[in-house]
Structure 1
Amino acid sequence: MKLTIDPKLLADTVTAAARSLPQRPLIPVLSGLLLEATDDQLTVSAFDYDITHRGRAAADIAEPGRILLPGRVLAEVAKSLPTGVFVEVTATGTEATLTCGRAEFELPTLPVDDFPTLPEPPDPAGTVDGDVFVTAVHQVATACSADDTLPMLTGIRIDADGDTLTLAATDKYRIAVRDLSWQPATAGALGKLLPGRMLHDITRDLGRGPVTLAFDDQLAAFITDIRRTTIRLIDEQYIDYRARVSLDTPIIARVDAPALADAVKRVALIAERNTTIRLSFTAGEVLLQAGGADIGRGSDVAACELNGGDIEIAFQSKYLLDALNAIDGQAHIGMTEPHQPALITSEDGAYRNLTMSVRVA
């Protein structure tokens, strides 16, 4: 195999594939990245039993072929290559050489014939704007649990009904939901549960432009013009999150989400991690307080428009910040009683976050 390629293209393609490499591969070849050179195109693939990735980049192919190289080492080398000059990749049976200007690296090859065949993606279910989808995933992923003992809580649920796609996640203490538009390829409802951490990680490489989503009973696939990633689904039932985020809240505070988030961060500085933030809503403003006699106290004030009676309510600072940071602009905080959950929504209602309140003596 022999090819020439722009070093930035190589680095982007290899780095994106390397993110899908298993941390503890069951067999040695799964630590490798498969490089295939054909038809003026370099394809880089990674395989794990839960996630697979295939990316393409334009290249000048002098000799077609396929090799398997140590994935993480290759990614570090590719990222370090100088720019302004093309990199040449040549390979024999046991070694590959990367030459870029005066920099040269020699990497041992792995047995390419032992590398598994990547699964083919399912039939397309629809297409979504990449930027909007990435934002939606990041907005709900903060509500995923890190505790693997209950897989359902680690996942992101994707539902579709007509031209509306809905993403949801919960860790029992909050529920984050985001609606967005998409273009379905087939009629009928859709409901799939994906590993939240994996879905969040792959969105870093989806980029701009349309993303095709595809599903079957075992796999979800995310396809762009240069990348294709498959993720194994979580086989779990999911809660009726729609009913839970459809509260009738008689008290609604309208706030500037970034401004209130900044105030929460300032007040939380005085207290311990995961501290409780107390919010006292009155007409025109909300008073934020945290801390106590043994660790010190902090307070701040933010503007708000209040509809309904005055109320004092408390939240864990992290949960409150996750909800506010997902909203760029005005937010509505809907409340019923001090010891009941609050519904934090974007002004257009596309993002909703039901967050448990904390009892404060």
Structure 2
Amino acid sequence: MRFRVERDVLADAVTWTARSLPTRPPVPVLAGVRIEADSSGTIQLSSFDYEVSARSQIPADVSEPGTVLVSGRLLAEISRALPAKPVDVVLDGTKVVVTCGASRFTLLTMPVEDYPNLPVMPPVSGTVDGDAMTHAVAQVSVAASRDDTLPLLTGVRVEIEGEKVTLLATDRYRLALRELTWTPASPDISTVALVRARTLSDAAKSLGTAGSVAVSLSTGAGVDLIGFEAAGRQTTSLLVDGDYPAVRRLFPDETPIHAIVSKAQLTDAAKRVALVAERNTPIRLSFSDGQVVLDAGQGDDAQASEALEATLVGEDISVAFNPQFLLDGLGALDTTFVRMSFTHPNKPVEFTGQESLDGEDDKGYRYLLVPIRFAS
């Protein structure tokens, strides 16, 4: 095998393909990136850990076709450190020689015959705008659990009905829902998938800038897979197995009390007040006519309070939140104002965004946060 490729092209492709390689692979070959040089002038780089696969195809000047398997992380580090000159890659016996300008590296190869077959990309189920996908996934994934002992809750539930896609995530303390539209391959498509939040976020960030992203789903036909493809890159992931809890019913049907506050002002004030909130201690928000008062700390501890202008509809109400969960919800909104809708001081609070004080809130994104009980 022998080929020449531009440094930046190689570095981007190797870095992207190697990004999900396991730190402690169950077998050594899974730490590798497979490089296939084709006589047609393309290089395909692949990685696979039995759950997530990645493929990247780039143009190259191929003198001799061939296939090798080398350490993915090492190749990524080397390719990023090379000078801005063409890179020559040559297979020499059991070693791969990488030359770029005056730099020369020799990498040991791994037995490519021991490398597992990559999963086949399912048929395309539809396409979605990359920017919309990236934004929607970021808004929802903040609420997904990071606790791997509860694998179901580390996933994002993807519900597809025709042209509408709904993303849902919860960690039991908050719940995020985002609706968006896409272009389905079949107008009557109706399916549900549970995708690891980490995998979904990674795919959205790395492929979302490509314009249009093709989404492929395979459910109920042996291996349950989701795949994403854009700009010469493909990634697949096994779906999370299990029944996701019925979380939609947690959103209240009616909210007799709601308050509207400037999102930027509330975010800044919450960050300041949270400086005195020790670990696991809440920020308290007290709403009354025309204002909301934020306070944290009590007794002999450091204390802070700040008052902001707010519009309140309904009776006065006080709630307390985990500071980080509150800031996560505010950060996911991209509107000028936040509407907080209440049913009871100890019941979950719904966060939605709106562009003006007297306008309607946008239900396309909803963030539900469980308050912390506090002593009266």
Query: Which aligned runs of 4 or more in structure 1 are off by greater than 6 angstroms?
Result: none
Identity of aligned residues (%): 44
Residue in 2 that maps onto 1:334: 341
Q: How does 1:86-97 map to 2 (within 5 A)?
A: 86-97=86-97
Q: Is the 8 A contact 1:167 1:177 kept in 2?
A: yes
- In the aligned structure 2, how far is the partner of 1:353 from the partner of 1:155? 16
Q: 1:211 aligns with which of 194, 202, 213?
A: 213
Q: In structure 2, the residue corresponding to 1:331 is in which secondary structure?
A: strand
Q: Is the 8 A contact 1:247 1:343 kept in 2?
A: no
Residue in 2 that maps onto 1:21: 21
The aligned amino acid for 2:228 is F
- In the aligned structure 2, how far is the partner of 1:145 from the partner of 1:32? 29
Residue in 1 that maps onto 2:50: 49
Q: Is the 8 A contact 2:277 2:283 kept in 1?
A: no
Residue in 2 that maps onto 1:271: 277
Residue in 1 that maps onto 2:81: 80
The Cα offsets for residues 260-303 of structure 1, whole Å up to 9 and x where unpaired, read as: 12211111111213430101122332211011123210112333
Q: Residues 315, 247 of structure 1: CA spacing in aligned structure 2 closer, same or farther, 3 A cutoff? A: farther
- In the aligned structure 2, how far is the partner of 1:146 from the partner of 1:342? 22
Q: Is the 8 A contact 1:245 1:353 kept in 2?
A: no
Q: Residues 283, 9 of structure 1: CA spacing in aligned structure 2 closer, same or farther, 3 A cutoff? A: farther
The Cα offsets for residues 37-61 of structure 1, whole Å up to 9 and x where unpaired, read as: 1222221100111111101122222
The Cα offsets for residues 25-46 of structure 1, whole Å up to 9 and x where unpaired, read as: 1211111000111222221100
- In the aligned structure 2, how far is the partner of 1:60 from the partner of 1:67? 17
The Cα offsets for residues 315-358 of structure 1, whole Å up to 9 and x where unpaired, read as: 11111111111012222111121111100113322111111011
Q: How does 1:130-141 map to 2 (within 5 A)?
A: 130-141=130-141
Q: In structure 2, the residue corresponding to 1:190 is in which secondary structure?
A: strand
The Cα offsets for residues 46-84 of structure 1, whole Å up to 9 and x where unpaired, read as: 01111111011222222221111111111111111222x
Q: Is the 8 A contact 2:348 2:370 kept in 1?
A: yes
Verify: 1:359 aligned to 2:373, yes or no.
Answer: yes
- In the aligned structure 2, how far is the partner of 1:293 from the partner of 1:166? 45
Residue in 2 that maps onto 1:176: 176
Residue in 1 that maps onto 2:359: none
Q: 2:249 aligns with which of 240, 243, 266?
A: 243
326-335 or 256-265, which deviates more: 256-265
Q: Residues 70, 340 of structure 1: CA spacing in aligned structure 2 closer, same or farther, 3 A cutoff? A: same
The aligned amino acid for 2:216 is A
Residue in 2 that maps onto 1:104: 104
- In the aligned structure 1, how far is the partner of 2:29 from the partner of 2:330? 43
Structure 2 unpaired stretches of 5+: 355-361
Structure 1 unpaired stretches of 5+: none
Normalising by structure 1, report the TM-score: 0.96
Residue in 1 that maps onto 2:200: 199
- In the aligned structure 2, how far is the partner of 1:5 from the partner of 1:207? 25
Residue in 1 that maps onto 2:143: 143
Deviation at 1:171, TM superposition (A): 0.9
- In the aligned structure 2, how far is the partner of 1:60 from the partner of 1:322? 47
317-326 or 285-294, which deviates more: 285-294
Q: Residues 78, 133 of structure 1: CA spacing in aligned structure 2 closer, same or farther, 3 A cutoff? A: same
Q: Is the 8 A contact 2:343 2:349 kept in 1?
A: yes
Aligned residues: 360
Q: Is the 8 A contact 1:258 1:325 kept in 2?
A: no
The aligned amino acid for 1:46 is S
Residue in 1 that maps onto 2:71: 70
RMSD value, Cα: 1.5
Q: How does 1:243-322 map to 2 (within 5 A)?
A: 243-322=249-328
Deviation at 1:246, TM superposition (A): 4.5
The Cα offsets for residues 131-176 of structure 1, whole Å up to 9 and x where unpaired, read as: 1111211111121112223221111100011211111111111111
The aligned amino acid for 2:288 is T
Normalising by structure 2, report the TM-score: 0.92
Q: How does 1:337-352 map to 2 (within 5 A)?
A: 337-347=344-354, 348-352=362-366
The Cα offsets for residues 173-206 of structure 1, whole Å up to 9 and x where unpaired, read as: 1111111111111223111111122222333311
